[in-house]
Amino acid sequence: MDIQVDICEGNRDDNSSNVVKIPERLLQREQARLDDAERRKEAKESHSVANENSEFFTKAFNRDRAAIEELISICSGADRALATQTLDEATAKTQQLQKFLNDSMMFLAQYELRQAQASLQKLQTSLAEKRDEALPKKKFAFRSRTKATEQVCDTVPATQSGETVIDGHTPAESSIGKVEETVYSKQCGFSNMDDMVLTKTAGEINKNDVLLSHLTNCKVRLFGSPSTLHIKNVSGCEILCGPVSSSVFVDHCSNSTLALPCQQLRTHNTTSTQVYLHVTSRAIIEDCQGVSFAPFTWSYPTLDEDFVVSGLDRARNNWTQVDDFNWLALGTPSPNWTLISEEDRKTTWEI
């Protein structure tokens, strides 16, 4: 002990800095060890909380999904009034389930998220199919022109070729002169049209499912707040839509421009398409190439009111958050989608 004291005292003048630095290094090393231990503890606790949240989500999601499936099943054989009431309740619960999923995305693993999204999409498809089955669309035929039909034709638009358009559909010529038509059904939209300007008002689409299918070189304007929007087999189209309260599903879309706000966007088999997006969860693409994104820029006089009707959060827009289910390389951006540069973004739209 005396020798150690003498050495320290003998070197106090020449190596006084060393005498001070040794305990500092020890303190720093000890502090680093304590910090590392605290980080490991926090990580363990965070992992435990995430597991608990994930378990709670799975139980709640499956319970609510089963309740919706039960509502859908009891519509079989029910009268129209009961079926309408039950399906409306199932639709509202499905929208709530979609919101629950959106709010839970932050702690769900990718596998759990995909499973839940697939289950929800299947549920929405079943709901749409059951609505078509329980609430069949009305039909009517074009026959001889009477005074009543003349009055109807005077109130609906016509194409450039002079063909009458009712609810956005042109009656096809046929030997029997009949055409199937949707009249204010729960699902409305436009199908099988080329080179046309197509418009629906808020009164027609609010809280309804909207279907756009087999359109080529069309300009579509949807004012209001649909429940869901399905876009299938469209090419060279410009589709602008008001706030969609739940999901937008895009399938087989090419060389088109879409502008829409929604809770969730799922895009399949789509190429060379620009999407001006307001999404409160995340956008999902699968089997897509050349899809580009920018923030939603379309505006019209009643847009604010339609956002209120939809229930979407205008302050929350995750348009840059895109999940590519065909690209799982962590840390490497997907080559299937890009962001549109500011100078190339469209800010004005013809109406």
Write down the pLDDT at residue 161.
Answer: 39
Residue 349 lies in a domain: no
Write down the pLDDT at residue 208.
Answer: 87
Do 17 and 130 belong to one domain? yes
Do 304 and 337 belong to one domain? yes
Do 2 and 64 belong to one domain? yes
Do 54 and 132 belong to one domain? yes
CATH code assigned at 30: 1.20.58.1250
Residue 200 lies in a domain: yes
Q: How many domains does the chain have?
A: 3
Do 16 and 49 belong to one domain? yes
Alpha-carbon span 263 to 192, nearest angstrom: 27
For residue 129, give its domain range: 1-136
Do 90 and 238 belong to one domain? no
Residue 91 lies in a domain: yes
Do 205 and 129 belong to one domain? no
Residue 351 lies in a domain: no
Q: Which residue has the tokens 């499973």?
A: 115
Q: Which residue has the tokens 């929350």?
A: 316
Residue 276 lies in a domain: yes
Alpha-carbon span 98 to 300, nearest angstrom: 27
Do 190 and 339 belong to one domain? yes
Residue 295 lies in a domain: yes
Nearest partner of 281 among 245, 250, 251, judged by Cα: 245
Write down the pLDDT at residue 59.
Answer: 87
Residues 173-190: b if buried by 16+ CB within 10 A, e if exposed: eeeeeebebbeebbbbbb
Nearest partner of 203 among 187, 221, 184, 183, judged by Cα: 184
Do 41 and 70 belong to one domain? yes
For 75-130, give the DSSP string: TTT--HHHHHHHHHHHHHHHHHHHHHHHHHGGGS-HHHHHHHHHHHHHHHHHHHHH
Alpha-carbon span 11 to 146, nearest angstrom: 118
Write down the pLDDT at residue 43.
Answer: 57
Write down the pLDDT at residue 274.
Answer: 97
**Residues 181/138, Cβ–Cβ less than 8 Å:** yes
Domain end, chosen from 75, 103, 136, is at 136
Do 206 and 338 belong to one domain? yes
**Residues 281/248, Cβ–Cβ less than 8 Å:** no
Distances (CA, A) of 142 to 152, 167, 235: 12, 15, 30
Residue 350 lies in a domain: no
**Residues 256/234, Cβ–Cβ less than 8 Å:** yes
Write down the pLDDT at residue 124.
Answer: 82
Do 132 and 64 belong to one domain? yes
CATH code assigned at 333: 2.160.20.70
Q: Which residue has the tokens 């827009």?
A: 317
Do 335 and 314 belong to one domain? yes
| CB proximity list for 274: less than 8 A, separation 6 or greater | 256, 257, 258, 291, 292, 293, 294, 340, 346
pLDDT one digit per residue (tens) for the chain, 351 residues: 444 444 444 444 455 445 455 577 777 777 777 777 776 666 555 545 445 677 888 888 899 989 999 888 888 877 888 888 888 888 888 888 887 887 777 677 777 877 888 888 788 888 888 887 877 755 444 444 444 334 333 434 444 434 444 444 444 433 333 333 333 334 589 999 999 999 999 988 888 899 999 999 999 999 999 999 999 999 999 999 999 999 999 999 999 999 999 999 999 999 999 999 999 988 999 999 999 999 999 999 999 999 998 889 999 999 999 988 888 766 788 999 999 999 999 988 876
